[in-house]
Amino acid sequence: MKTKKGEGYGADQKQKNKQSEFVRWFAPLLQALKDLGGSAAPREALERIAEIEKVPEALRNEVLSSGQERFYNQVHWARQYLVWEGLIDSGKRGVWTLTPKGRDTQLDAKTAREIFLEQVRKRAALIKPPVPATDGAPDSEDKPEDTPQADEDASLQSFLSVVKDLSPNGFERLSMRLLREAGFERVSVTGRSNDGGIDGVGVLQLNDLVSFNVVFQCKKWEGSVPPKEIRDLRGAMAGRAEKGIFLTTSTFTSSARAKAERPGTAPIELVDGEKLFEMFKRYELGLKPRTVFDIDLAFFEQFK
C-alpha cells in the first residue's frame, strides 16, 4: 500500500535506517528547485520542500547536538549527494542551482537509493582508511570528509563555539561591530535591563534622503528560538523603530520565522548562527579566508 504524499514521517518512515534518512529528500529537493525556477537560496528550498512534503512542525524544530536544525542538516546532505551525481551545480553555497541534467531528471525512491549507494561506492575509494560501500550511511550529524562543504561546516561549528563562549556583553559588542560593518550608523547598546527585550539601537541610512531606525536583540540561545521572543521584540519596537533584528547563535523555529514575516506587521530580520557566520565571512571579521579544492570525479571519469 502506498503512503499518501505528505504523510512523510509516518510509521513506515520511522522504520527506516536513521543513518540514511536524508536520502528521502533527494526527489523533493529536485522538485523544489524546479518549482522555484531552477535555483534557490537554501532556506527557500527548505521552505518549498516543507510545503511539498508537509513536513511536521516537530521535525522542522528538531535540533542536533551541534545546534543545527536536523531537517536543514539532512537536506544539505541530500544536496551534497545530488551535486556529486551532477544534478545540482557545485557552485557557491549561497545559491543551489539545477544543472541541465538535474532539470531533466525525475527521481523516485528506488533511483534515489541507487544514486546514494553509487556515490558511497565512488567516495569510499577517496577516503583513507577505506569506508565499506554498504547500505548504511554516515550519521546525519557527520559531514562528508572530502568536500568544501565539510570544511565549511567545520568552520561554522568552530565559529559558533567561539561566539557562544563570549560573555553576553561581549556578544552584544560583537553584534554592534557586525552591524556597523553592514552599514548601520549610530549603533549603541542600551544597557538597560527593563528595555523590553531590546539590546541595542541603530540607524540604517539607505541613501541621502531615506533612513530607518532599527532596534536589535542578540542572544546566545540554547535550542531554537520560539515565537514568543519575536512577539516580545515586536512589542518593544512599537513607536521606536521601523525594523527589528534578532541575532542568535542558534536557530529559529518555523513558527518564529512565520511570526517574523507576518504581513501587516513591523518587519523583523532573523539572523541565526549560520547567517551570522555568512556575514562574518563576507566582512572578514575574525575569519581568515583560505582556498580548498574538491575532487570532481565526473571530470576524471572521461579519461578512463
Task: Note whether 22 and 91 are same-domain residues.
Answer: yes
Higher-confidence residue of 129 and 264: namely 264
Asked if residue 173 and residue 116 are part of one domain, the reply reads no
For residue 263, say if its preceding peptide bond is cis, omega within 30 degrees of 0.
Answer: no
Examine residue 291 and state whether it is found in any structural domain, yes or no.
Answer: no
Regarding whether 130 and 20 lie in a shared domain, the answer is: yes
pLDDT beyond 50 at 275: yes
Angle, helices 148-164/273-283, rounded to nearest 10 degrees: 100
119, 171: one domain? no
Q: Is residue 297 part of a domain?
A: no
131 and 170 share one domain: no
* 158 in a structural domain: no
Q: Domain count of the chain?
A: 2
For the CA atoms of 162, 42, 65, 282, what is the dihedral angle to 10 degrees?
Answer: 0
Task: Say whether pLDDT at 136 is over 60.
Answer: no
How much is the pLDDT for 126?
65
Distance CA 189, CA 240 (A): 15
The CATH code of the domain that includes 271 is: 3.40.1350.10
CA 210 distance to own-chain centroid:
32
Whether 128 and 198 share a structural domain: no
C-alpha cell at 132: 565499506
In a domain, 173, yes or no: yes
* Candidate from 80-89, 122-131, 261-270, 293-302 with smallest mean pLDDT: 122-131
Helices of type H across the chain: 11-14, 26-35, 42-53, 57-60, 70-84, 100-103, 109-124, 148-164, 168-181, 227-237, 254-260, 273-283, 297-301
Residue 33 scores a pLDDT above 50: yes
The predicted structure's pLDDT at residue 17: 44
β-strands 268-271, 96-97 pairing = unpaired
| Domain CATH code at residue 92 | 1.10.10
Cα 93 to the chain's mean position, in Å?
Answer: 10
User: Phi first, then psi: what are they for 223, rounded to 5°?
Assistant: 80, -175
Structural domain contains residue 27: yes
Same domain, 131 and 183: no
Q: Is residue 206 part of a domain?
A: yes
Indicate whether 5 pLDDT > 50. Answer: no
Q: Which three cell numbers stand for residue 147?
A: 568536500
Pairing of strands 96-97, 184-189: unpaired
Same domain, residue pair 133 and 168: no
81 and 23 belong to one structural domain: yes
Q: Enter the pTM of the model.
A: 0.63
Q: Which residue has the higher pLDDT, 17 or 200?
A: 200
Give the structural domain span for 125. 11-142
Residues, the chain: 304
Residues 29 and 130 in one domain: yes
Lowest-pLDDT range, 196-210, 225-239, 243-257? 196-210
pLDDT of the residue at 18: 47
State whether 186 and 89 are in the same domain: no
Q: Is residue 149 part of a domain?
A: no
Q: From 109, 142, 175, give the residue that closes a domain.
A: 142
pLDDT in tens, 51-109: 999 988 888 878 777 667 888 888 988 998 999 899 998 766 678 999 999 999 999 98
